[in-house]
Structures are given as C-alpha cells and as structure tokens.
C-alpha cells in the first residue's frame, strides 16, 4: 500500500479510502457543468491553506483573472495565495507540447509544489493534430508528470452520451485514478443531481458507490454516506 495524501475536500478522502495515493495522476472526468473545475480549484485551495501543499494550475481554458474571480465566489483568495507563492497559475500562450512540459516543470520547481491541476487534459491532447501522436504524446506527458512525485489532477471533458471517460478514449488508461462526475437525471423531481464516483484508484481499496455532492457557496461538499435518489 502506498502512502495516502489527503485531498482536503470534505467527504472525498473517505471515498478514496484515506486520500490519493502518493505521487498519483488522477483524471477528473465529466460532462460540462458537472463541477470538475470547481473541485480542482478547491483541491488547490485546500492544499495551499490547510495542508501546507503549494499548488500549480495549468489553465488551458481560462484566463487567470477569470479563475481568480470564480474562486472568489467561494471565498477562496487566490491572489493572496499567488502573492505568498502558495499558488501559481500558468496559462500558456503557445500551444506547443514541448513548452507545456517545460512550463509544468518550471512552475512546480518554482514554488516547490506538491499538487497540480491541468484544466484540461482534453485541450492538452488537442495540441497534437495527428491521433497517433496524441496517444504517444499524452503517455509521455503522463509519465513526466508522474515522475514529479506530486498529486496531479487531469481534467477530462466527457462528451455528452459517451460511454467513456475522455474524448480520445485512451486518456483514462495512462492515469493512476479516475474520478467520475455526473449530473444524473432525477426524473421524478424533474431535475438533476450532482454525483461522484471513484472509478479507478491504483493501489487502493476504495468505495465503489456513486454518491451525491453539492456545490455550495463554500465549494464542493461530497456526501459519502448518502444514497442517490431516495
């Protein structure tokens, strides 16, 4: 059994059987609006404020100013964390794979980061035009990230109605774990319910329950002991 690293997110560590395996690269997979980015920002905030684990956000989707503003609505002061070298947001302007790799390593070294988020892996994979290069490139990137020895979350956009955890269908095989976020239709109440499920976590005996979670004004709250749709 490898050492477990607490995520710092309420309810998640209990689903994980204690936390993420040390040094693991974990995919956070889900459709649009399922809460992937929010969960990832909370992971960085909790690490930097409660666990003395500085974090790096590689943002390929959003401008840093937008991220800082959206974190603020949950009461997370990202600007303060950046000023204190507990957080770095990297938004590469050149969409080249080699520079992405360099950016990651440099940012992690700079603040001695212990956790990282790539939002999103889906966009990183799109740096490669040819599908055959995409698979090889992502495998190499994953290996490089795993060598850093930190906990990394790789966000994966799942197309609606697809029975997979990624756009290309292979991303989930090169990671150590997969968290699946879904908005499930609650037909009786004519609404949707947020849910989370640990699909895979190497070296871990984890829960296989899909459980409800909420996004509140303080961020994500996961309910590991509750059942969906009672």
Question: Which stretches of the chain bind Mg ion, using CB under 5 A?
Answer: 37
Q: Is 142 in the site for ligand ADP (CB under 6 A)?
A: no
Q: Is 125 in the site for ligand ADP (CB under 6 A)?
A: no
7 binds, among Mg ion, ligand ADP, none (CB under 5 to 8 A by kind): none
Smallest separation (angstroms) from ligand ADP to the CB of 149:
26
By CB under 6 A, the residues from 59 to 98 that bind ligand ADP are: 73
Smallest separation (angstroms) from ligand ADP to the CB of 14:
21
Ramachandran quadrant class, 157 (left: phi over 0; alpha: psi -120 to 50; beta: rest)? beta
Tokens describing residue 19: 């936390």
Looking at beta carbons only, is 13 or 119 nearer to ligand ADP? 119
85 binds, among Mg ion, ligand ADP, none (CB under 5 to 8 A by kind): none
Smallest separation (angstroms) from ligand ADP to the CB of 33:
4
Task: List all residues 6 or more positions away from 93 whose beta carbon is below 8 Å from its beta carbon.
Answer: none
Looking at beta carbons only, is 19 or 119 nearer to Mg ion? 119
Looking at beta carbons only, is 37 or 204 nearer to ligand ADP? 37
Full DSSP string of 27-86: EEEE-TTSSHHHHHHHHHHHHHHHS---EEEEESSS-HHHHHHHHHTTT--HHHHHHTTS
State which H helix or E strand residue 106 sits in. helix 97-111
Q: Residues for the chain: how many in total?
A: 230
73 binds, among Mg ion, ligand ADP, none (CB under 5 to 8 A by kind): ligand ADP
Task: List all residues 6 or more positions away from 45 whose beta carbon is below 8 Å from its beta carbon.
Answer: 71, 74, 76, 78, 81, 219
Q: Is 33 in the site for ligand ADP (CB under 6 A)?
A: yes
How far apart are the C-alpha atoms of 150 and 118, rounded to whole Å? 13
Question: Which DSSP state fits 148?
Answer: T
34 binds, among Mg ion, ligand ADP, none (CB under 5 to 8 A by kind): ligand ADP
Q: Is 37 in the site for ligand ADP (CB under 6 A)?
A: yes
Task: List all residues 6 or more positions away from 123 whose beta carbon is below 8 Å from its beta carbon.
Answer: 60, 61
Looking at beta carbons only, is 37 or 156 nearer to Mg ion? 37
Can you give the binding site for ligand ADP, defined by CB under 6 A? 30, 32-38, 73, 215, 217
């Amino acid at each position: 059994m490898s050492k477990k690293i607490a995520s710092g997110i309420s309810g998640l560590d209990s689903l994980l059987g204690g936390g993420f395996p040390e040094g693991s690269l974990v995919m956070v997979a889900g459709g649009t609006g399922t809460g992937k980015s929010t969960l990832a920002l909370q992971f960085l905030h909790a690490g930097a404020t409660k666990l003395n684990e500085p974090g790096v956000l590689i943002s390929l989707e959003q401008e840093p100013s937008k991220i800082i503003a959206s974190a603020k609505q949950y009461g997370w002061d990202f600007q303060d964390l950046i000023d204190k070298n507990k957080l770095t947001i990297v938004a590469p302007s050149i969409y080249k794979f080699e520079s992405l790799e360099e950016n990651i390593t440099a940012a992690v070294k700079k603040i001695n980061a212990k956790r990282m988020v790539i939002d999103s892996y889906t966009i990183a994979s799109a740096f490669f035009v040819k599908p055959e290069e995409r698979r090889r490139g992502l495998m190499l990137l994953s290996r490089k990230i795993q060598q850093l020895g930190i906990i990394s979350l790789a966000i994966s956009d799942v197309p609606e109605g697809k029975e997979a955890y990624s756009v290309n269908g292979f991303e989930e095989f090169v990671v150590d774990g997969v968290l699946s976020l879904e908005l499930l239709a609650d037909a009786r109440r004519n609404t949707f319910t947020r849910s989370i499920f640990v699909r895979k976590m190497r070296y871990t005996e984890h829960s296989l329950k899909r459980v409800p979670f909420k996004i509140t004004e303080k961020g994500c709250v996961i309910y590991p002991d509750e059942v969906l749709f009672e």
